[in-house]
């Protein structure tokens, strides 16, 4: 009975569901080296069962071995139990319970890729790049990524305390977060100056392309009533952790007429999976476009930015993206468990790889933060209107008063947005494009 567990493991290695469906191999095809390695595992397991100072949980031991084996491949490959698999489905459908952070692991350290907008982590002030060093007072050192994620899950409404190490902070920062049902609203939009549309996509969940199309159509309808048209779009993909590949294709297809969106390169270089632009459906392929990205823009965000950049459809502005360009697939081990494996790498239409490199913006632009506006005004000229008790040019007319009040409301509405340096620069770029286009038409 002591040697049953290794036999179970061998069955997992030879499970047809785990292998490539086109290449089902029998036990006889395995190399001598592989049998020797399995025999080594068998001997170690036997020694543990025989000599460890107390009784062991055989299933826990085997699962631990599998998790360790798969985690040694790369940060994105992992063993999935039933609960984890269900969690993954919830996250891409748009509603799930949790903290609202995307995490990865580097050199054994748990790192925040990005906090998802309007979630507990985002509202508490957790930032991209933060290192999670404690979970409820327990160190994360030595924890596998999946184990750390599992500890952050819990009953809805319960509180969790994260200890975070942040660059330029001498002490650990602590955040108390309440686990919630997180309803993701993937698209936020705003019209500026009755000609520019600001679009923000927070993640690539199901129907993200449709939500974006709806927001663009709404803006076009509003402008049409004012007898004007859309002059430019700022598409904000900053801190967007990615999501569904199909939605990356759908979103790209809104802005592109035709061509390749992304291709994948696997173990066999001769076999490539190519995703192309959907030619049918709603499009805004002729409106000037600026795409904003930063170091927390990952995966599907990088696919879209790369496609727009390579096809010269728009200007990519901001900071180099995260560099998550690997493709994962889920293979079932049995009816309740599976593995997530990296099987390929994404490439942009021109053949550039994204993995570990990211997308380099056409215009590199740091986000200077909310204090940039204050500093930029320090050396401005003093004008007549700045003088105390200055004389106005005329008595304000009724029309002037209405215009002033309207402009005041617009300014209040957009005040927060214009404190965003990168958004403001994107709008300035589009303003320049519009002016140049108008000059050419004259």
Per-residue model confidence as pLDDT tens digits over 133-171? 999 999 999 888 878 888 888 888 899 999 999 998 999
Architecture per CATH, 184-442: Alpha-Beta Complex (3.90)
| Cβ 257 vs Cβ 278: under 8 Å | no
Structural domain spans, the chain: 4-56, 95-183, 184-442
**DSSP codes, 38-80:** HHHHHHHHHHHHHHSSS---HHHHHHHHHHHHHHTT-TT-EEE
Q: Which of 252, 310, 321, 340 is catalytic?
A: 310
What's the pTM value of the predicted model, to 2 decimals? Answer: 0.74
Residue-wise pLDDT for 264-316, tens only, equals 988 887 778 999 999 999 999 999 999 999 999 999 999 999 999 999 999 99
- Cα angle 249, 254, 257 (rounded to 5 degrees) comes to 90
Q: Which of 71, 324, 340, 420 is catalytic?
A: 324
Cα 62 from Cα 44, distance rounded (Å): 12
State whether CATH 3.10.20.30 applies to domain 95-183.
Answer: no
- Residue 199: its pLDDT value, please? 97
Would residue 226 show up in a list of annotated catalytic residues for this protein? no
Would residue 158 show up in a list of annotated catalytic residues for this protein? no
- Residue 276: its pLDDT value, please? 97
- Residue 28: its pLDDT value, please? 55
Average pLDDT, the chain: 83
pLDDT at 247 over 80: yes
Would residue 78 show up in a list of annotated catalytic residues for this protein? no
Q: Which of 208, 299, 321, 326 is catalytic?
A: 299
Q: What is the DSSP letter of 353?
A: B
Cα-to-chain-centroid distance, residue 90: 16
- Residue 87: its pLDDT value, please? 66
Cα 236 from Cα 251, distance rounded (Å): 13
Between the two ends of the chain, the Cα-to-Cα distance in Å is 89
- Residue 1: its pLDDT value, please? 39
Residue-wise pLDDT for 42-54, tens only, equals 999 999 999 999 9
């Amino acid at each position: 009975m002591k040697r049953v567990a290794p036999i179970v493991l061998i069955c997992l290695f030879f499970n047809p569901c785990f292998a490539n469906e086109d290449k089902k191999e029998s036990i006889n095809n395995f190399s001598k080296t592989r049998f020797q390695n399995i025999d080594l595992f068998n001997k170690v397991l036997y020694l543990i069962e025989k000599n460890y100072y107390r009784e062991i949980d055989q299933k826990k031991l085997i699962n631990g071995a599998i998790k360790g084996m798969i985690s040694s491949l790369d940060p994105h490959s992992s063993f999935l139990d039933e609960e984890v698999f269900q969690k993954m489905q919830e996250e891409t459908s748009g509603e799930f319970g949790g903290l609202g952070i995307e995490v990865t692991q580097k050199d054994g350290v748990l790192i925040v890729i990005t906090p998802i907008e309007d979630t507990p982590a985002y509202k508490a002030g957790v930032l991209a790049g933060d290192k999670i060093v404690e979970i409820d007072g327990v160190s994360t050192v030595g924890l596998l990524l999946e184990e750390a994620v599992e500890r952050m899950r819990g009953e809805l409404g319960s509180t969790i305390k994260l200890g975070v190490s942040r660059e330029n902070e001498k002490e650990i920062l602590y955040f108390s977060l309440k686990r919630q049902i997180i309803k993701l609203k993937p698209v936020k939009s705003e019209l500026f100056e009755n000609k520019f549309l600001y679009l923000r996509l927070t993640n690539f969940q199901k129907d993200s392309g449709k939500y974006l199309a709806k927001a663009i159509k709404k803006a076009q309808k509003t402008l049409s009533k004012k007898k004007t048209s859309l002059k430019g779009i700022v598409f904000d993909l900053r801190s967007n952790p990615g999501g569904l590949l199909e939605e990356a294709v759908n979103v790209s297809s809104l802005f592109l007429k035709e061509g390749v969106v992304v291709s994948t390169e696997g173990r066999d270089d001769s076999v490539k999976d190519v995703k192309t632009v959907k030619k049918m459906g709603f499009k805004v392929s002729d409106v000037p476009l600026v795409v904003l990205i930063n170091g927390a823009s990952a995966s599907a965000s990088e696919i879209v930015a790369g496609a727009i950049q390579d096809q010269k459809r728009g200007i990519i502005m901001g900071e180099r993206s995260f560099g998550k360009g690997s493709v994962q697939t889920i293979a079932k081990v049995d009816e309740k468990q599976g593995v997530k494996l990296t099987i390929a790498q994404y490439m942009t239409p021109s053949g550039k790889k994204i993995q570990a490199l990211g997308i380099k913006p056409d215009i590199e632009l740091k986000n200077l933060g909310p204090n940039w506006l204050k500093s930029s005004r320090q050396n401005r000229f003093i004008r007549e209107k700045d003088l105390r008790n200055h004389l106005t040019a005329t008595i304000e007319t009724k029309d002037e008063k209405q215009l002033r009040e309207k402009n005041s409301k617009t300014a209040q509405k957009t005040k927060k947005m214009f404190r965003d340096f990168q958004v403001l620069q994107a709008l300035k770029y589009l303003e320049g494009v519009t002016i140049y286009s108008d000059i050419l038409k004259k």
